[in-house]
Structure 1
Amino acid sequence: MDADNRSVRRWGGRLLIALASVALTVALWPNATSLADLTGEEALRGQIAGIAHWINTAVRPQPDLQPEAVAGSPDAFPAVSAFGVNTFVQVEAEEAKRARSLDLVRAAGLRFIRQEFTWEDIEIHSKGDFIDRRNDPAGVDAWLKYDHIVDLAAERDLAIIARLSNPPAWSRAAGDELGTNAPPDDFNDFGDFAAAVAERYRGRIHYYQVWNEPNGNDEWGLQDVDPEAFTRLLCIAYERIKAADPQAVVLAGALTPTVANDGRHMNDLIFLQRMYDAGAGACFDVFSAQGYGLWSGPSDQRLRPTVINYPHNLFLRDLMVRNGDAGKAMWISEMGWNVAPENVRPDFGRVTEAQQARYAVGAYRRAQEEWPWVGVNSYWFLKRPADWEINEAWYYFRMLEPDFTPLPVYDAVAAYATAEPALSPMPAWKYTWMRSRPWLFLFGAAVLFFSLLRALAPSNAR
């Protein structure tokens, strides 16, 4: 009998060790076909370091994404196309150049433009004054330029995401002392402006984004950022836009992906949770994220809240789920990689033009295949009218030169977007598998560790 019991225990122990080995293997099996796919790194040194980084993050608690919650949700506002691009056609002085810009957008298969409707460029001199007298004492209608942009977009079947931001100096008692992006003293002034835009373009513009990066980069002015104050501004704008056009879709301003907490910047995850705590969930239809890859490519599988890479939006999605917004979509407001030359400080990473082109296509594809909660993905950016910012890193995200010469990234995106690419959506079981990694690893590692200790123990101690 004792021999039989020992045999059962021995075989039971072997089975447990086998199960633990399988669990550990499943936990650490990468969802990638190469080291480049796993780490987003192309150099071998970066790939080797990336493996360690990935293992470290893969066995930590994973974001709760609930990808199935968006499908069929009445709150999701699905996009008609994944392909968008940021444009600055409001600063093109010549109407023909505005038209040419949007011709190239359409030719590339891009269906959305995220276009600034700049408050300080529309209601310029005082409240309720929409006459521009900056260059002509007699004044011209400040709306005309934006009417032209709306007309051009409609002629090309392009949907506009109107970004509402940049308050005029008159909206603050201190003028521009706290910076040109500082919020107005009275948030109702911004609400009135948002309502004026929505009323004027009712039925022609369907998407409005309230502000941009209120958690840093001086886009809340030269002062400490304030998630509760931004939430009040967002809720006022949401109410006024919906009153003017009940069919309008309101996007919350995209948060800058940052780990800083120094007053003028706030970690985007902390900022978003404080927004929710202040009631922001009732004040937007679609959330917004930024999709910058910085130093690694779009396939990067590493997930860590303190590291900014292309899949950083998964942590924002996790917060949406935790706060009851699993049924809402997220749109990526700005996506891209930077090709700053050697004489320009690489504030946003540095890649080659060939990498920039491949990464942009990869970013569109990954969002389409793996992130069903992401709707429009807007490349940052089409072009600038001139090379004013040639010494600044952000200038080198562009798709076109100021003279409309296409760069490799434009050609690559155009080839992809116009080809109606065949997609392979990630199956549901993979999301479950990735969320289970930490538990599988914990079980496997614990069993093997204690089995090793038992094997090393003296025989008379067993």
Structure 2
Amino acid sequence: MNRRGFLVLTAAAVAAGCARDRTAPPVPEEPVAPPRVLGYSTGASILWADDADVSRTMAAVRDGGATSVRIDISWRFAEPARGHYDWRPSDRVVDAARAAGLDVVATLTTTPAWAAIGFSDLAAAAPRNPQEYGAFAGVVADRYRGRVSTYEIWNEPNGRLFFWPNPDPVRYTAMLQSAFTAVTAADPDAVVVAGALGNTDTTDGRTDSNEFLTGMYAAGAAGSFHALSYHAYDYGTSLADAGLYPNSAVQQIIRMRQTMVEHGDAAARIWITEYGAPDTGVDADTQARLIVESAQQWGEVPYGGPFFVYTVRDGDSLSPDPEARFGVLDDAFVPKPVYGQLAALAAAGLPQRDIANRFDAAAPAELGEPWGPVFALPAGSGRQYAHGNLYSTASGWLTSPPAVADIARTTGLVPAGPFHDGYQDLLADGGFRVFSEPRFGTWAVVGAILDQWRPELGFPVTGEYEAPDGQRVVDFEFGRILWNPTDGAVVIRDR
């Protein structure tokens, strides 16, 4: 059974970075790159695995080159009745991890019915009283002081699947504040990680990760976490290459980074505490490529923290259900190709890709901080920075301002030349020019309409649209250009 399935079980199944705070370590003004950390996220099923399987799992994590393991500490299991504790499930997992020489990240999750909203028996029900959750977190930190280094506050609270009845950044922030105070009082050396936000858009029962983070800050989350965590699933595409798409994991991470900087948390890091690819939709070699490439690409993000692979072992290697096939080992502990490749990458020190080194050397200082890893394009490669994009092209190194870069990225094009006089040409058959001017916005003009543009028309004030008579139109400051397949492009001047 896997983590994601566990959290939607009924009760019957479960019954058988860097905030500034007086109790927290001081936060450096400028982030200092820590050693690269590769970890594994085990999922909830390890809590009821037998002792032999727990030991084998931890040995597999260690022998696979990882130095850290992320486990669940279930409030539901540990405090089934108020004030009555059962530490056996978590004790043996923590002890096995420490015996294997692993650093432990504990996710404090799942609510006992006595503490849940509506006294719900759903494991995913949110806590009724955030202070009760915080008190439990403090008890855990006191018990595992010196054995658990990091506490992650809940799992994917931006989705109903794990935060019933609905994602609520205000309630979650109250939980975070209470837990931070209690954990750091019990163990001043502990790291508190907020979020574990999932990659999703906003729809019924789910909230976009940055929208949720913005809600957290509005509710007072600043000062109550050392780092933020995120689950960067993209499925079928590596972390960097998925960054071409507007709501990919990388683009959500970049938006969260912007939000954190705006709220004074530039020194706080973003941890990926789950990334994986099941070998159902892809073969085992593709699974290996996706995970290994993504683990290496994450090292190109200067504010990036540890990278945790989900998960160690398949739940059922014969199942057609992707949730059962995320493991780097099959259900009999036989390694898949990804396991050895990740071990080799870790043994080499998780080196940065050569292409990222070249971008680092070429990037002008005015672009600011790199916000994402280098992504491949059909005619070159690119990278997103705080103040624009840098591209490696057949014409050499070229930059684009942010608004132009957004269009270039989503169209998969590279610049054909520099940005000048308010526009930049992108390399595309038929012509592709992006105009960007603060008064009028940023608009692409292409093909036959672009061929007829002259400076006296001024800047475009719209993108291309279809008129009621079926013609394609772009409006400019001093006129418009219309196109239809019979007459081609026609210029109409306002004066």
> Which TM-score applies when normalising by structure 1?
0.71
Residue 193 and residue 351 in structure 1: after superposition, are their counterparts in 2 closer, same or farther (change >3 A)?
A: same
Which residue is 2:67 aligned to? 111
Equivalent residue, structure 2, for 1:82: 37
Which residue of the partner structure matches residue 364 of structure 1? 295
Q: Describe the SS at the equivalent of 2:176.
A: helix
1:234 corresponds in structure 2 to 176
Moved more, 81-90 or 328-337: 81-90
Q: Spell out, residue by residue over 1:375-431, the C-alpha distance to the aligned partner (whole angstroms, 9 max, x if none).
A: 1010111125x5399353222211112221111221221221123244244515363
What is the aligned partner in structure 1 of residue 401 from structure 2?
436
What is aligned with 1:167?
A: 111
SS of 2:240's equivalent in the other structure is coil
Indicate conservation of the 8 Å contact 1:108/1:413, yes or no: yes
Q: What is the aligned residue count?
A: 361
Which of structure 1's runs of 4+ aligned residues deviate more than 6 A?
Answer: 447-451, 455-458
For residues 253 and 261 of structure 2, what CA distance do their matches in structure 1 show? Answer: 12
Q: Which has the higher contact order (CA 8 A, sep 6+)?
A: 1
Aligned to 2:167, the other structure's residue is in SS state coil
Asked if 1:252 is matched to 2:253, the reply is no
1:116-137 Cα deviation digits (max 9, x unpaired) = 011111112x11101xxxxxxx
Letter in 2 for 1:111: T
* Equivalence for 1:18: none
Q: Which has the higher helix share?
A: 1
Q: CA deviation at 1:316?
A: 1.6
Question: In the alignment, does 2:148 pair up with 1:205?
Answer: yes
One-letter identity of the residue aligned with 1:85: Y
* SS of residue in 1 equivalent to 2:274: strand
Partners of 1:319 and 1:167 in 2: CA distance = 29
Question: Which residue number in structure 1 is paired with residue 28 of structure 2?
Answer: 73
The yes-or-no answer on 1:453 pairing with 2:443 is no
> Which of 224, 237, 251 is the matching residue for 1:283?
224
3-state DSSP of counterpart to 2:275 = strand
Residues 170 and 367 of structure 1: CA distance in aligned 2, closer, same or farther (over 3 Å):
same
Distance 1:285 1:391, change over 3 A: same
Matched AA of 1:443? Y
Q: Which runs of 5+ in 2 are unaligned?
A: 1-26, 365-382, 390-399, 405-418, 425-432, 437-444, 458-489
Identify the match of residue 382 of structure 1 among 281, 291, 312.
312
The within-5 A match list for 1:211-360 is: 211-221=154-164, 223-262=165-204, 264-300=205-241, 302-305=243-246, 307-310=247-250, 312-340=252-280, 350-360=281-291
1:112-131 pair list within 5 angstroms: 112-124=68-80, 126-130=81-85
Q: Which residue of 2 aligns with 1:373?
A: 303
The 5-angstrom pairing of residues 6-155 of structure 1 reads: 73=28, 80-88=35-43, 90-124=46-80, 126-130=81-85, 142-155=86-99
Residue 74 of structure 1: how far off its partner (Å): 5.8
**1:402 and 1:77, CA in 2 relative to 1: closer, same or farther beyond 3 A?**
farther
Return the alpha-carbon distance in structure 2 between the equivalents of residues 294 and 98 of structure 1.
28
Alpha-carbon spacing, 1:275–1:389, altered in 2? closer, same or farther (3 Å)? farther
**Distance (whole Å) between structure 2 residues aligned to residue 106 and residue 452 of structure 1:** 62
- SS in structure 2 at match of 1:109: coil
Amino acid at match of 1:169: A
More strand, by proportion: 2
Matched residue type, 1:393: P
Mapped partners of 2:130, 2:331: distance in 1: 36
Offset, 1:265: 1.2
Contact 2:196 / 2:229 at 8 angstroms: preserved in 1? yes
The answer to whether the 8 Å contact 2:36/2:350 transfers is no
CA distance in 2, matches of 1:418, 1:395: 28
Match of 2:469 in 1: none
Q: Whole-Å Cα distance in 2 between the matches of residues 211 and 353 of structure 1?
A: 31
Query: Which residue number in structure 2 is paired with residue 12 of structure 1?
Result: none
The one-letter amino acid paired with 2:91 is D
